[in-house]
Chains A and B, each alone.
Chain A
Amino acid sequence: MVNLMRSGAAVVTLPTDTQILITREFAAPKHLVFKAWTTPELVKRWWIGQRGVATIAEIDLRVGGKWRYVMVAHGGFEVAFHGECREIVPNERLVTTEVYEGIPDAEARAALNTLTLTEVDGRTTLTLLVEHRTKEDRDAHINSGMEGGLQEAMDLLEQIAISLR
């Protein structure tokens, strides 16, 4: 039954030149979505999707507290992010900075992420607004999804090549 009530697809839009807005509905109350979003052991289980393995998830859920996530993608390369909690309204709103550690001047190019959770009849609409400082960084962020996809395709190709040896 729960599976039938699954909530469908994420919608990604670009409200301005520097923003990305991600929206998705969940068949669960907001306090559980907040819990899954902010509890390290739970984050490790969903944050990377199918792209690899989460090796580190640390969250100090206080204003000024730091967070850091590290994953190892299927290709073997490590990807790490960290940031700081700026605003916390339990179960409803979380504002954090996000630094992608793999780029030059990473700290200066931190994005600001605003998570909001709205519950109606036990279902929760999640919105995640990602605000970059420049259009270039915003575009690079979106392109990283593409590169991830490309990387997966290369990995698959490699596996197939090995199996053919």
Chain B
Amino acid sequence: MARAATTTDAFNAVAESRRRQILDVLAGGERAVNDLVRLLGLPQPQVSKHLRVLREVGLVDVRDEGRHRMYRLNGRPLRPIHEWVKNYERSWNERFEALDEVLDELKREEDSDGEPHA
């Protein structure tokens, strides 16, 4: 799958584990940069650098509140990733639906054998 540069593509932006950590924290609600620095245990310049990348692909929104810059998660750019995984998910759903049938049959067999459920 062809990919664009880190700063223009949500796929690459979330390929970095620290940035995923930041998104995980922001999934719990809006945070100031200082909070993120404390929660992630990373130097502030590094956190700012990651936030800049996330902002450029639109994964976080920022606003000023007094002296604080507040960062918030915006999940919309993650949609293409979801779409990408979705087809794979569909192939598992097909398998699992067939597995449901097999399990129904095994349950009926077990019930008619009078065996207790383990």
Taking Cβ atoms with an 8 Å cutoff, the residues of A that contact B are 2, 6-7, 9-14, 16-17, 20, 22, 24, 26-29, 31-33, 35-36, 42, 45-51, 91, 122, 135, 139, 141-146, 148-149
In the bound assembly, the distance between CA atoms of A141 and B92 in angstroms comes to 13
Q: Which chain B residues lie closer than 8 Å to A144 at the CB level?
A: 88
How far is B84's CA from A139's CA once the two chains are assembled, in angstroms? 10
Q: By DSSP majority rule, is chain B's interface helix, strand, loop, or mixed?
A: helix
What chain B residues lie within 8 Å of A47 (beta carbons)?
Answer: 95, 98
| B residues with CB within 8 A of A | 1, 15, 17, 81, 84-85, 87-104, 106-107, 110, 117-118
Q: Assuming the A-B contacts A49-B91, A91-B118, are A24 and B106 also in contact, with contact meaning beta carbons closer than 8 angstroms in the complex? A: no
- The one of A2, A26, A45, A146 in contact with B87, judged by C-beta atoms closer than 8 angstroms, is A146
- Write the nearest CB–CB distance from A162 to chain B, whole angstroms: 24
Partner of A16, one of B17, B91, B94, B117: B17
The answer to whether A146 and B88 touch (CB under 8 A), given A42-B102, A49-B94, is: yes
Is there an interface contact between B98 and A17, defined as CB atoms closer than 8 Å? no
Residues in chain A near residue B99, CB distance under 8 A: 26, 33, 36, 46
Q: Which 5 A-B pairs have the closest CB atoms?
A: A49-B94, A145-B88, A46-B98, A28-B103, A46-B99
B102 touches A46 (CB 8 A): yes
Contact A50 B92 (CB under 8 A): no
Do A46 and B101 touch across chains, with their CB atoms under 8 A apart? yes
Task: Name the A residues within 8 Å of B85 (CB-CB).
Answer: 12-14, 142
A6 → chain B closest CB, angstroms = 6
Does A48 contact B95, Cβ atoms closer than 8 Å? yes
| Docked-complex contact A49 and B97, CB < 8 angstroms | yes
Query: Chain A contacts of B101 at CB under 8 A?
Result: 45-46
Closest to B94 in A: A49
Nearest B residue to A11 via CB reads B89
Give A28's nearest chain B residue, CB to CB: B103
A32-B110, A46-B96 given. 6 additional CB < 8 A pairs? A9-B93, A10-B96, A22-B89, A26-B103, A32-B103, A51-B94
